[in-house]
């Protein structure tokens, strides 16, 4: 989408601001932060994330390259989602055969900087748009649940939902992993079929190094 080069005065009215905030809450609580906060949101994301800024960029590049490449490798009926966290890649979605499932895994493993691949692609018909909309709602509700739990670092948990299956990704200690999994598994969120952990387990010492303030 191109932007008109002509500058037009813009007045951000209070009703519009309220509408934007309501939309943010209804979809995903953190999803609209860049719209409201601009560059400060990105800086905050980097600071709170347990990945370095460089690794975050690598994860985004892995997702982009993998999904772009798979579109040329698989038929249009395939629905493959690539999610990378600290170079650990989750494949979720649907393909029409075991051959396509294996092909997708091999292709993603061949990409630069990929550390490991968790292949949870289902050999089944492509999910409907209605189901994908429900998955987005579930993701938002799970995010809200984790944010409300004051003993969990919500920024350390990445959530992916496909066909009602909630995948939890991130770099967590064993205790944190169990706490988050139990919280989501025992929730009353409608539509959750099961919860799958795709965590990278770190030690308490690793955690202290990750969250320690910089002395520089």
CATH architecture of the domain 129-207 equals 2-Layer Sandwich (3.30)
CATH label, 53-123, candidates 3.30.470.10, 3.30.1340.30, 3.40.50.300, 1.10.580.10: 3.30.1340.30
Residue 196 confidence (pLDDT) above 90: yes
* Separation CA 108–CA 37 (nearest Å): 34
The two structure tokens encoding residue 149? 């739990």
Mean pLDDT check: name the lowest of 32-36, 61-65, 79-83, 150-154. 32-36
What confidence tens digit (pLDDT) does each residue in 148-176 have? 998 999 999 999 999 999 999 999 999 99
Residue 69: partners with Cβ closer than 8 Å, 6 or more residues away = 107, 111
Q: Where in the chain is the domain with CATH 3.30.1340.30?
A: 53-123, 129-207
3 state SS of 157: strand
- DSSP label of 149: -
What confidence tens digit (pLDDT) does each residue in 125-154 have? 999 999 999 999 999 999 999 999 989 999
Burial (0-12, 13-18, 19+ Cβ within 10 Å), 14: exposed
pTM over cut 0.85: no
* Separation CA 80–CA 61 (nearest Å): 16
- pLDDT value, residue 209: 86
3 state SS of 34: helix
**If you average pLDDT over residues 103-112, what whole number do you get?**
97
Residue 13 confidence (pLDDT) above 80: no
- pLDDT value, residue 213: 60
């Amino acid at each position: 989408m191109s932007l008109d080069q002509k500058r037009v005065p813009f007045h951000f009215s209070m009703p519009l601001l309220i509408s934007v905030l309501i939309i943010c809450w209804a979809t995903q609580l953190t999803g609209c932060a860049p719209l409201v906060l601009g560059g400060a949101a990105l800086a905050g994301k980097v600071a709170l994330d347990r990945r370095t800024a460089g690794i975050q960029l690598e994860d985004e590049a892995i997702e982009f390259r993998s999904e772009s490449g798979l579109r040329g490798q698989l038929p249009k009926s395939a629905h493959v989602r690539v999610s990378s966290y600290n170079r650990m890649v989750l494949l979720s979605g649907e393909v029409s055969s075991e051959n396509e499932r294996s092909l997708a895994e091999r292709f993603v493993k061949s990409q630069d900087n990929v550390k490991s691949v968790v292949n949870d692609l289902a050999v089944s018909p492509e999910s409907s748009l209605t189901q994908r909309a429900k998955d987005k709602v579930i993701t938002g509700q799970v995010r809200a649940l984790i944010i409300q739990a004051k003993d969990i670092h919500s920024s350390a948990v990445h959530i992916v939902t496909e066909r009602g299956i909630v995948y939890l990704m991130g770099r967590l200690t064993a205790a944190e992993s169990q706490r988050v999994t139990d919280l989501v598994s025992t929730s009353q969120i409608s539509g959750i079929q099961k919860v799958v952990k795709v965590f990278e387990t770190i030690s308490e010492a690793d955690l202290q190094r990750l969250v320690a303030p910089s002395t520089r």
